[in-house]
Amino acid sequence: MRKLAAILAISSLLLTGCAPADRQASSTKVVLISHDSFAISDESIAEFEASSGFELEIIRAGDAGSLTNRLVLTKSSPIADVVFGIDSTFRGVADQNGIIQGKLTEVDFADVCFNYDRLWFDVNGITPPSSWRDLTQPEFKDLTVVTNPLTSSPGLAFLATTVSALGESGFEAFWTELRDNGVKVAAGWEEAYFTEFSGSSGSGKFPIVLSYCSSPAAEIRENGQSQTVAFLDEGFRQTEYIGILAGAQNPTGAGALIEFLLAEPFQSTMPELMYVYPVNPDAVIPSEWTKFGPAARTTIGEELDVATNRESWQAKWASIFE
């Protein structure tokens, strides 16, 4: 994890990003585009606006995959100044399409893994799975919801997980077995977790969901225990980035916003607001995360070149789910 000094040094460089002077001088608004899960308190917004002199506008654009694709489609006429939430699985798309001015900067991370509804398994008298590798077994038929790797960053992260673990010759067989075992494919994480999963709102019918290792910290009930459990082995570390969009109308305001979002006060709000780990080493981590939402014990996929192979893997996956 980078030291705070390094983070602020990068931020100061971003403050010097170039754009026509008249556009900088005339703009009092800075526009942030993010995925739907981005959250910031009213107090933080007020603090940023008071300290910077810029008004903050936020556009939410779906999952990280949808966000990145939208930025590619609008790169000739950028709709924002700053992007928050391009992650390590879609960073290659951003780089290849030149949508970022300068470089992306790490802002948070989370580990993609499966969660299961402990209460559902207790009530139904079924032993829960211990790994994602178990999900093709008949006792877990029609119990799992994942996200589409064509449109969802957690979905692509899990697709990459299967490639890393099973190899180019083995991951397709796993996905075929998972399909035949009744897996539900949701378009994005919010649909999968909040609509289809039984362990979040209790209204979904699937007790196993592709989510994050930190998610159980959001499901603590009145008895002080989490209703859900995460698989902490073979997590796929998903780093999120923040950056100035190429052609931003207010790069000065964009740099000020990035510096604010990387500083300790905002970073300390990220676990409770977005259930991600902050990159600032001075940020405060809630005590319940140690018990219910720790980072993965082991991670997988670091050796993969996702940017180069993404489209090939996605095409093979799509042929299975046609």
Q: Which domain holds residue 50?
A: 4-110+237-292
Indicate if 187 and 302 belong to the same structural domain. yes
Amino acid at 125: G
Q: What is the pLDDT of residue 58?
A: 96
Indicate if 279 and 190 belong to the same structural domain. no
For 214-240, write each residue's pLDDT tens digit.
999 989 999 999 999 999 999 999 899
Q: What is the pLDDT of residue 65?
A: 79
Q: What is the pLDDT of residue 87?
A: 86
3-state secondary structure at position 31? strand
Indicate if 104 and 230 belong to the same structural domain. no
> Taking the C-alpha atoms of 102, 109, 83 and 47 in order, what is their torsion angle to the nearest 10 degrees?
-110
Q: What is the pLDDT of residue 228?
A: 97
Indicate if 171 and 194 belong to the same structural domain. yes
In terms of C-beta density within 10 A (0-12 exposed, 13-18 middle, 19 or more buried), how is residue 291 classed?
middle
Tally of domains in the chain: 2
* Residue 84: closest CA among 101, 102, 60: 60
Q: What is the pLDDT of residue 4?
A: 34
Q: What is the pLDDT of residue 66?
A: 84
Indicate if 131 and 106 belong to the same structural domain. no
List, for the chain, all residue ranges whose pLDDT scores fall below the cut of 50: 1-26
Single pTM value for the model = 0.74
Q: What is the pLDDT of residue 241?
A: 96
CATH for 37: 3.40.190.10
Confirm if 82 and 251 have CB atoms less than 8 A apart: no
> Taking the C-alpha atoms of 29, 266, 157 and 121 in order, what is their torsion angle to the nearest 10 degrees?
-130
Indicate if 41 and 175 belong to the same structural domain. no
Q: At a CB cut-off of 8 Å and minimum separation 6, what does 208 contact?
A: 114, 115, 116, 117, 128, 129, 135, 140, 143, 144, 145
Indicate if 134 and 221 belong to the same structural domain. yes
Indicate if 209 and 274 belong to the same structural domain. no
